[in-house]
């Protein structure tokens, strides 16, 4: 992992182009106060918060569920995680094209529905192949929703400032990735590990509902 981060650093140093000049605009100074009045920003924040909480819980506790309760080997657990994340990455090439042609709000909702559904199905997987199918479903959900959500974030960025809007979107992810595994760990300790995924699915449902409500 350290080597991959070093590689990313070197690529950025040598290949990331510099912007020779910035286009001056007459827009007003970015304001987080004004941003809070945007239903789309609030909806995207809710979506990203719930989505990332599910991703954090999935990454932290799938290995425990599959290793201890289903007795899968570390190699097979790695395959499950890889399939989920790789499908999300590869399919975004196609779903991004779809997001440019169809209703982005609807695509975020559809992807979110798939995402919290697969979380709820994980405790029902009794073997490698069932979990592989469920993880692939989760990869599909992320691939559908994330390009559309990112595009909507950019659209709002044109109104409130690109850096500020993306910062809010990223902050939602950071909050969930930091807090999600801690909350999920407490749930696993006091209830059981299956409840972690049901909790994450419930949060996904709430996040999707808030996105629909704020962006109506």
**Quick check: 20 pLDDT over 90?**
no
Q: What are 68-100's pLDDT values in tens digits?
A: 989 899 999 999 999 998 988 888 888 888 888
**Quick check: 27 pLDDT over 60?**
no
From CA 82, how far away is CA 5, in angstroms rounded?
A: 18
Where residue 23 falls among pLDDT bands split at 50, 70, 90? low
Please tell me the predicted confidence (pLDDT) of residue 201: 93
Please tell me the predicted confidence (pLDDT) of residue 158: 85
Please tell me the predicted confidence (pLDDT) of residue 37: 81
From CA 192, how far away is CA 174, in angstroms rounded?
A: 25
pLDDT over 70 for what percent of the chain? 94
- Walk me through the domains of the chain, giving residue ranges and CATH numbers: 38-214 (1.20.1250.20)
Where residue 26 falls among pLDDT bands split at 50, 70, 90? very low
From CA 172, how far away is CA 44, in angstroms rounded?
A: 9
Give Cα separations from 94 to 103, 114, 118, 134 (angstroms): 15, 17, 21, 21
Where residue 19 falls among pLDDT bands split at 50, 70, 90? low
HSE at residue 102, side-chain half, CA atoms within 13 A, is: 15
């Amino acid at each position: 992992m350290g080597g991959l981060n070093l590689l990313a650093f070197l690529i950025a140093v040598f290949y990331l182009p510099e912007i020779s000049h910035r286009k001056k605009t007459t827009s007003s100074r970015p304001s987080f106060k004004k941003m809070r009045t945007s239903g789309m920003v609030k909806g995207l924040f809710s979506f990203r918060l719930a989505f990332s909480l599910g991703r954090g819980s999935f990454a932290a506790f799938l290995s425990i569920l599959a290793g201890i309760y289903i007795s899968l080997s570390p190699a097979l657990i790695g395959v499950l995680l890889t399939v989920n994340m790789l499908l999300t990455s590869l399919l975004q090439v196609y779903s991004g094209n779809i997001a440019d042609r169809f209703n982005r709000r609807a695509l975020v909702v559809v992807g979110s529905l798939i995402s919290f559904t697969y979380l709820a199905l994980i405790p029902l997987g009794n073997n490698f192949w069932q979990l592989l199918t469920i993880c692939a479903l989760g990869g599909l959900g992320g691939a559908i929703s994330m390009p559309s959500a990112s595009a909507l974030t950019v659209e709002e960025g044109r109104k409130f400032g690109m850096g500020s809007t993306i910062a809010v979107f990223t902050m939602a992810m950071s909050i969930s990735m930091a807090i999600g595994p801690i909350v999920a760990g407490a749930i696993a300790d006091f209830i059981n590990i299956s409840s972690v995924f049901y909790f994450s699915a419930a949060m996904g449902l709430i996040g999707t509902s808030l996105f629909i409500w704020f962006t109506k």
